[in-house]
Structure 1
Amino acid sequence: MEGLEKLRRKAKNAADLHAVVGIMKSISSSNIHHYEQAVQSLQEYSRTIEMGLQIMVMHRPVEPLAAREPERPRLGAVIFGSDQGLCGSFNDQIASFAMARLKEIDPEELAVLAVGGRVVSRLLEAGLAIESQFSFSGSHPGITRIMLEVLIGIEEWRAKRGFDRVLLFYNRPASGATFAPHMDQLFPLDVKWLEGLAGRKWPSRTLPTFSMDFDRLFAALVRNYLFFSLYRAFVDSLASENASRLSSMQAAERNIEDYQHRLNVQYHRQRQEAITSELLDVVTGYEALAKREEGRN
């Protein structure tokens, strides 16, 4: 049976761990809100880009602006994971999802960029070669730096290696503290989406005009759209990561509280047994002394 002092130390350690888990819960919850606000703040920027593309496709037919891809494309994949642990099955889910989708596509050639060191190990274990990997510094300037580096890699795929298609794989927040794996096609632009922009009603009576060369302006808008899509995917992934970590910490908190309850019950039971034993020793000693006194008399 464990001693009372050992149980006291276990209870103190459990209380310290409970406090740490509580802090991590607060940080994760704050981060979720922070990244959700970041996505919301980009909505107006996204709307401006879409309106610019809408004007462009209203001036030219959609088909020439978005090339058709072959049946077995030369494919680039950007997979977003995490650099930090304690986020449950976050990396396992996106790695399994990406592997399954890539297997369905069966590309002629495949190149992979991974964001987050922990997802890399999952992908390597599954037999997927990683061409480049990036780590996140934990700040918004860090996001911008990584996105620019990823864009450079994508541009090399397209311009120098003739890749036909680029896909994004990331976890997207769902209801509450849940998330789900998601895939977006970054390149080429979706023809149906462009057709939808061309047929969308303009919000005012006057259509904007432009004097810049069409191809240069269209390319600039597309670059901004690609950057926004990457940025949104990364922020969604970070929000999902923190949601997963929050869920893990909530489960850990419940387990620690159950453990603390068991320790308290065990401690009080053993303390009561110790008190009872001491009282029995006192009573037994008293009775022995009493019998000895009676014998003398």
Structure 2
Amino acid sequence: MSKRREVKERLATLDEICGIMKTMKNLALLEIRKLEMFLDTQRRVTTSIEMTAQDFLYFYPQIQAYSDSQQLLIIIGSERGFCGDYNDSLVAFLNSQELQRETLLIAVGRKLESKLFENLRIAAFIESHSVAEEVPITLLRLIDVLNRLQQAASAKIGRISVLYYDDESERIRLRQLLPLSLPETKLTYSHPPLLNLEPTQFLTKLTDQYLYVLLHEVFYSSFMRENRKRLTHMDSAIQHLEKDTAKLRMRANRLRQEEIINEIEIIMLSTEVLS
């Protein structure tokens, strides 16, 4: 096989790979556009529930009591690759934290699972989502795992935190989900909120609603950052491929010129021999 043919086959392969990467880039852009709408709405809902919780806990701070509760940390990674150091950064951040020995870990995402497979603290691995519409399915899997762990745990799981990439701050964030935080500043309300339920019952329902809404926001934010990382990774890879393709095209042209020159020389030698 001639060198020029080898170069042409290599060019065809690079063009095919470049086309695939451009498709992946466009899919990441599509997910980002969808998530922008989801996140804006979800953050408003979360803020509204947090304000309600702050108002309630300001007047009923004694209701929350989690002194002997089991601690749980949810780590949200990616289901797919091509997102740079996304999962490696999460693992590095996790290793830098001083967690209590009894803390249980739940890893979300197959790519993260492959990096935490030997971690003895992992209580469960959960398959994650590939598109924004699959986030509710991931949440159902997580809730099912939480229920099973709660039944098997020797103590009540009352302290739940999440480790994820926050899109708004563009940083890895360790965020407490439960218990609900007590107000840090004095509120201006002079009277407690009017409740139609017993305070304990109200807190239970509010906590369930808050956890469900906040996990939606966290998953959407994490998935947004994942797709932004993937977009950056794809841009860099496409630029690298385009440079390699340009070099190969120049090489193919030089090889073709050499072949033409050789053909001309052969024709001229043949003419001299015949004459």
Specify the TM-score bucket, using the shorter chain as the normaliser: 0.7 to 0.9
Supply the AA of the counterpart residue of 1:26: N
Contact 1:115 1:135 in 2 (8 A): yes
Q: 1: distance between equivalents of 2:132 and 2:4? A: 50
How has the CA–CA distance of structure 1 residues 269 and 288 changed in structure 2, closer, same or farther, with 3 Å as cutoff? same
- The corresponding residue for 2:106 is 113
Supply the AA of the counterpart residue of 1:36: E
- The corresponding residue for 1:166 is 160
Contact 1:69 1:165 in 2 (8 A): no
Q: 1: distance between equivalents of 2:49 and 2:195? A: 14
Kindly name which structure, 1 or 2, has the bigger radius of gyration based on alpha carbons: 1
- The corresponding residue for 2:126 is 134
| Alpha-carbon shift at residue 96 of structure 1 (Å) | 1.8
Supply the AA of the counterpart residue of 1:117: R
Residue 82 (structure 1) aligned to one of 63, 69, 78: 78
| Alpha-carbon shift at residue 115 of structure 1 (Å) | 1.1
SS of residue matched to 1:131: strand
Supply the AA of the counterpart residue of 2:261: T
- The corresponding residue for 1:96 is 92
SS of residue matched to 2:247: helix
Supply the AA of the counterpart residue of 2:163: F
Contact 1:76 1:157 in 2 (8 A): no
- The corresponding residue for 2:184 is 195
SS of residue matched to 1:165: strand
4+ aligned runs moved over 6 Å, structure 1: none
Q: TM-score, normalised by structure 1?
A: 0.81
| Unpaired stretches in structure 1, ≥5 consecutive residues | 291-297
Q: TM-score, normalised by structure 2?
A: 0.86
SS of residue matched to 2:254: helix
Q: 1: distance between equivalents of 2:258 and 2:148? A: 74
How has the CA–CA distance of structure 1 residues 58 and 100 changed in structure 2, closer, same or farther, with 3 Å as cutoff? closer
| Aligned residue runs from structure 1 range 187-266, under 5 A | 187-191=178-182, 194-196=183-185, 199-201=186-188, 209-266=194-251
| Unpaired stretches in structure 2, ≥5 consecutive residues | none
How has the CA–CA distance of structure 1 residues 9 and 230 changed in structure 2, closer, same or farther, with 3 Å as cutoff? same
Contact 1:75 1:108 in 2 (8 A): no
Alignment root-mean-square deviation, CA: 2.8
Greater CA drift, 222-231 or 269-278:
222-231
| Alpha-carbon shift at residue 25 of structure 1 (Å) | 0.5
Q: 2: distance between equivalents of 1:2 and 1:18? A: 25
SS of residue matched to 1:170: strand
| Alpha-carbon shift at residue 282 of structure 1 (Å) | 1.8
Residue 268 (structure 1) aligned to one of 235, 247, 253: 253
| Alpha-carbon shift at residue 111 of structure 1 (Å) | 1.3
Percent of pairs with identical residues = 22
Number of residues of Structure 1 aligned to a counterpart in Structure 2: 273
How has the CA–CA distance of structure 1 residues 149 and 8 changed in structure 2, closer, same or farther, with 3 Å as cutoff? closer
SS of residue matched to 1:42: helix
Q: 1: distance between equivalents of 2:250 and 2:38? A: 47
Greater CA drift, 225-234 or 272-281:
225-234
